[in-house]
Structure 1
C-alpha cells in the first residue's frame, strides 16, 4: 500500500486508515470538516468555520475560503483537510459540491506553487455506506 503522504497531494483522495498516526509521522497537520447535516452554502461555510477553527471574521464565501486555505500564516506548511461524510454530501448536493471542489482544487494548486502541500482527503462514513468517492 502506498503511503499517501509520501507523494504530493493529487486532487481529492480517499483518506487512509490510521490517518492521524500517518500524518503525525510525516508532520502533517490534520483538520476535519464534517458535512453531516450540510444542505446549503451557509451551512457549508459554517462547517469550515468550525472545522478549521476560524474566527467569526471569516467571510463565509468562496473567496474567503480560498484565502484561508492558501494563507501561509493560517496553517502549517503541510495540511491534510479531511472531508468527513463528503461522498454523501456530494451525491445529494452536486452543484454545491462542484463549486466547493473548484475552490479546494484551486487552493491545492496555489499551495503547491508556494511550496506548501494541501491534501484533500475524503473520509467515508459508516452512516452512509452507499456513498462512495
Structure 2
C-alpha cells in the first residue's frame, strides 16, 4: 500500500497506522479532532475548537471553520487533520457529515491552489471496523 504522505492530499483518506510517526518523518503537522461526543453542529464546532487549539473567539460556524483551516498564519503549510471516530459519526449524522465534508474539501482545494497541503485522515477504532 502506498504511504499516504508520499502523494498530495486527495479527499478524505484512511489514516495509516502510526500516522503521527509517519507525519513527523515527512515534517507534517498533525492535529486530531475527536468525533466521539459529536451529536450536533455545536458539539462538532467544539470538537474542532479543542482539536485545532482554537480560542473562544472561534465563530463556531462553517465559514469560521473554513477560515481557520486555510489561515496561513495559524496553520503549517503541511497539515494532517486526523478525524478520530469519524466513521461512526458519519453514519449517525449523514447531513451534518456532508456539510462538514464540503467545508473540509473546499479548504483542501483552496490550500492546494496555494501550494499547501491538508490531509484529511479518518482514523477508525478496531471496534468500528468490525461493525461495517
Into which bin does the TM-score normalised by the smaller protein fall?
A: over 0.9
In the TM superposition, what whole-angstrom CA distance separates every residue of 1:16-57 from its partner, at most 9, and x where no partner exists? 001111100100000000000110000000000000000001
**Under a length normalisation based on structure 2, what TM-score does the superposition of the two structures give?**
0.96
What secondary structure is seen at the aligned counterpart in 2 of 1:128?
A: helix
In the TM superposition, what whole-angstrom CA distance separates every residue of 1:84-112 from its partner, at most 9, and x where no partner exists? 00000000000000000000000000000
Give 1:30-45 correspondences, 5 Å limit: 30-45=30-45
Distance 2:20 2:43 in 1: 26
In the TM superposition, what whole-angstrom CA distance separates every residue of 1:102-130 from its partner, at most 9, and x where no partner exists? 00000000000111000000000234334
For the pair 1:26 / 2:38, whether they are aligned, the reply is no
Aligned length, in residue pairs? 132
For the pair 1:49 / 2:43, whether they are aligned, the reply is no
Would you tell me which structure has more helix in proportion to its own residues?
2
**Under a length normalisation based on structure 1, what TM-score does the superposition of the two structures give?**
0.96
Q: CA RMSD in A?
A: 1.1
**Structure 1 gap ranges (5+):** none
For the pair 1:82 / 2:82, whether they are aligned, the reply is yes
Q: Are the counterparts in 2 of residues 29 and 80 from structure 1 also a CA contact under 8 Å?
A: yes
Q: Which runs of 4+ in 1 moved over 6 A?
A: none
Give 1:1-133 correspondences, 5 Å limit: 1-130=1-130
Distance 2:85 2:104 in 1: 16
